[in-house]
Structure 1
Amino acid sequence: MKKLLWSLTLFGLTLLILLPVNGMVEFDEMEWFTDFNGTKMFQTEGDIYSDAKFPVVGLTLIQSAAAKGAVCLDGSLPGYHFHRGSGSGARNWLVQLEGGGWCDTIRNCVYRKTTRRGSSKYMEKQIPFIGILSDKAAENPDFYNWNRVKVRYCDGGSFSGDSENKAAQLQFRGKRIWLAAMEELMSKGMRQAKQALLSGCSAGGLASILRCDDFGNMFSPSTRVKCLSDAGFFLDAIDVSGGRSLRRLYAGVVKLQKLETKLPRDCLNSLNPTSCFFPQNLINQIKTPLFILNAAYDSWQIQESIAPKSADPSGSWHDCRLNYAKCSTSQIHFLQGFRNRMVNLVKGFAKPSKNGVFLNSCFAHCQTERYDTWYSKNSPSVKNKGIAVAVGDWYFERGGAKLIDCAYPCDKTCHNLVFRG
């Protein structure tokens, strides 16, 4: 039986645990890479973690949410973690939307109700704030003293749905959860924000794109408002069998949660609803300044969109999908085609001065939530500019915010995710 090596980091203590994995990892289990809510993450080539003591922030349930029908899949209250800012950051707000995959069938969503991805009953009562959420200037120079919020994800549809399935006792209320959380944060001072940034990783990165203009419209014109999507640029890609695995998943989410009329109207006017769940069809219509941060060889997309087990019955991609160093020349060529498509899709988006891009040639997924990839001495960089510096330069309009890496294997700064057998 194959095993995956996990590295658990809790309050500066690093432990190694071997977890058995039998078969394909389900989407529900796949906040794998940067799951700081569970204080675990896959080992990387660098294996470098902060020894600092992270702020540990308690969970706040939104008590007003029940009356608004803004509930998790199981009907429980949604929640968030809030670390108040200070000094020059007291009127600045960073809101991060948690990621964690999607559920596309009744069965998957019913299972999800029994996890922290579908119920606040199972959410951690406290989580460490790391990376872009850190409160230390040495680890997070531009946002360390801002009001920082992590909104928990428990609707399975990237904060987009507003329906239910009574027979299965499932509530798809992501859009209501979003609104309830924003209303509560507004009442806690965000209404007076001088600067605000909406961010998110993975499924939360997709949500930060879907909700970006909603967020921008909440503030007065005098407030600087922008959005950041980390590892949320999921492509409508062809997999190794010639099919479209991620499109099938997204079609299930859209149908199950009845998103046909809930997605951006500008997109729905010209494309079908499933297409309008893909960022590539949304980003050029967003009016609020947006930054796309993504690995060109996104590990999640390689695992579950490009070469999922269902598209590779012979297992010829098994080793490659677990460790890029084991990819054959032809497999690398296939992955280069994926990267080329991603680069081409962001080129037009990057032209307006308001938008920013950091596309590095790493085999990674989510780079804002980790100390070693966000801001450290050896963080990934493009043209000698690290991720946190690039994001800060874009947000504060200091220049140099359109960075696209050369193709693999040119980048020696990557913290690639490596799976051990």
Structure 2
Amino acid sequence: MRFSLLSLLIFPASSASLSPPPTLTKLSLYDFPSARCLDGSPGAYYVAPSLSDSRKFVFSLQGGGECTGLEDCKDRTKGDLGSSDHLASTMDISGQRFLSQDEDENPFWFDATHVRVMYCSGDLFSGNGSINEDIGVFFSGAKIIDAVVKEVSKDWEGGEVVLWTGESAGGIGAMMSVDRVAKSLSNSTVVAAPVAGFYWPTLSEYHGEGASEIDYPFFPEDWVEMAKTWSSVLPSNKCARAVDVPETCLTAHINTPFVESDIFFVESQTDSVQLSLHNGIGDEPDGSVPTQTDYVLEWTANMTSFIKSHLSTGEGGGRRVGTFNPSCYTHTSFSADKPLIDGRHYAQAFYQWYFNGDAEAMQDTCDEGVFHCNPTC
């Protein structure tokens, strides 16, 4: 549901001055004992307060893949993807998509309070706070989300508007948690805008010329194993009851029909990480390998048709679903400069969709047999 801009326009905004760098806050394990990183250190987030006394908030979930095994997860504890012990006291968020304080790059949200939720749980922000005895690490991503939202919103009076976003693993996490967050912030308006977070259970892997090894397969049975390892909090009981493999509700394509919040997908038609890391196509496709080209074309057709199948105008008071879906071989590289569709970048497209009611889909259409056709990539 869209909100009235009038209630927010009474708060003056200026892009002339920038907020100080976001400062680190570590969650209290006394208050939130289950909100831990892989190594048991407290979950953490950075905050850049609004300079305009705005009731606008952007929560952005950091990306960074996932871990499922002992060696993989233990390795992550050596850096900030597995421990808050290594985090700096401040963070540079310039150019960080919906966290940018540049009005041209980030219309409407540039002067919001910006909250960057750090990804140190390795579980796509899905874990329920349990320690996995077999691996010896905590999987607490869902608990970290809940704790950060509770702490940041403790003094809210109602009427706030929240952009719930994240990139890659953070985009996946944003999609599976948005309704839970919206329910906890029932007096506020919440809209999701995941970046590079539209995934689905793998239909087929690429095994032709130039294929690469797949370290993180995403077939339905793999989602079952990952959810078991992480003790994942599934995003929707409705989804879990409606599908054959409830754990696949952790993916946006399976879960979206059951999400009640408004959603705007920022997603490349040829997502480079999904194609290489999870589907095995190897090096960037250039059209010179017929089997690879055929696979990428089919995968791209699935991406565009799957997203299109979820688009909704919200007619009759329901939720709205829109997208910025360029034909580019990229993952999270969305900026004010590129890619563009009809002269607009991703944040402008979101603004026009959400506030002005523009078309649900900004999707490139390539000629038959062509992918990666956007000239601004």
Using structure 2 for the length normalisation, give the TM-score: 0.83
> Letter of the aligned partner of 2:238 in structure 1?
D
**Partner of residue 177 from structure 1, selected from 124, 133, 144:** 144
3-state secondary structure, aligned to 1:63: coil
**Partner of residue 271 from structure 2, selected from 298, 304, 309:** 298
Shift of 1:352: 3.5
Shift of 1:126: 2.3
Identity %: 24
**Partner of residue 358 from structure 2, selected from 386, 396, 399:** 399
Question: Which string of whole-angstrom CA distances, capped at 9 and with x for unpartnered residues, describes residues 150-182 of structure 1?
Answer: 000111112211221235431111221111111
> CA separation in 1, counterparts of 2:304 and 2:32?
45
Q: Is the 8 A contact 2:34 2:143 kept in 1?
A: yes
Shift of 1:357: 1.0
Question: Which string of whole-angstrom CA distances, capped at 9 and with x for unpartnered residues, describes residues 10-44 of structure 1?
Answer: xxxxxxxxxxxxxxxxxxxxxxxxxxxxxxxxxxx
3-state secondary structure, aligned to 1:385: coil
Aligned to 1:29: none
> Letter of the aligned partner of 2:45 in structure 1?
Y
Q: Is the 8 A contact 2:36 2:43 kept in 1?
A: yes
Question: Which string of whole-angstrom CA distances, capped at 9 and with x for unpartnered residues, describes residues 216-255 of structure 1?
Answer: 112345x332011110112323111399922265343212
Q: Is the 8 A contact 1:267 1:282 kept in 2?
A: yes
> CA separation in 2, counterparts of 1:230 and 1:265?
24
> CA separation in 2, counterparts of 1:108 and 1:193?
42
Aligned to 2:66: 102
Q: Summarize the alignment of residues 2-151 of structure 1 with structure 2, pairs less than 5 Å apart.
A: 56-64=21-29, 67-87=32-52, 90-129=54-93, 130=95, 131-151=97-117
Q: Is the 8 A contact 1:66 1:77 kept in 2?
A: no
> CA separation in 2, counterparts of 1:409 and 1:139?
23
Q: Summarize the alignment of residues 240-279 of structure 1 with structure 2, pairs less than 5 Å apart.
A: 240-241=206-207, 245-247=217-219, 249-259=222-232, 262-269=234-241, 270-279=243-252
- 1:406–1:83 distance in 2 versus 1, CA, 3 Å: same
3-state secondary structure, aligned to 1:396: helix
3-state secondary structure, aligned to 2:22: strand
Gapped runs of 5+ residues in structure 2?
1-16, 209-213, 315-319
2:245 aligned with 1:281: no
**Partner of residue 349 from structure 1, selected from 295, 310, 316:** 310
Shift of 1:326: 6.4
Range with greater deviation from structure 2 (291-300 or 164-173): 164-173
Aligned to 1:412: 375
Shift of 1:63: 2.0
Normalized per residue, the structure richer in strand is 1
**Partner of residue 232 from structure 1, selected from 192, 197, 200:** 197
> Letter of the aligned partner of 1:115 in structure 2?
G
**Partner of residue 324 from structure 1, selected from 255, 273, 285:** 285
Q: Is the 8 A contact 1:254 1:273 kept in 2?
A: no
> CA separation in 2, counterparts of 1:138 and 1:126?
24
> CA separation in 2, counterparts of 1:71 and 1:277?
21
Shift of 1:192: 3.5
> CA separation in 1, counterparts of 2:149 and 2:18?
29
- 1:305–1:392 distance in 2 versus 1, CA, 3 Å: same
Question: Which string of whole-angstrom CA distances, capped at 9 and with x for unpartnered residues, describes residues 275-305 of structure 1?
Answer: 2222211011100001111111101011111
> CA separation in 2, counterparts of 1:55 and 1:362?
34
> CA separation in 2, counterparts of 1:235 and 1:271?
14
3-state secondary structure, aligned to 2:277: helix
Q: Is the 8 A contact 1:54 1:128 kept in 2?
A: no
Aligned to 1:165: 132
**Partner of residue 389 from structure 1, selected from 345, 348, 352:** 348
Q: Is the 8 A contact 2:27 2:35 kept in 1?
A: no
Shift of 1:190: 4.5
2:182 aligned with 1:216: yes
CA RMSD for the aligned pairs? 2.5
> CA separation in 2, counterparts of 1:303 and 1:165?
29
2:153 aligned with 1:186: yes
Shift of 1:206: 0.5
> CA separation in 2, counterparts of 1:327 and 1:66?
57
Shift of 1:54: 9.5
> Letter of the aligned partner of 2:286 in structure 1?
A
Aligned pair count reads 340
Aligned to 1:360: 326
Shift of 1:366: 1.2
Gapped runs of 5+ residues in structure 1?
1-51, 308-316, 368-372, 415-421
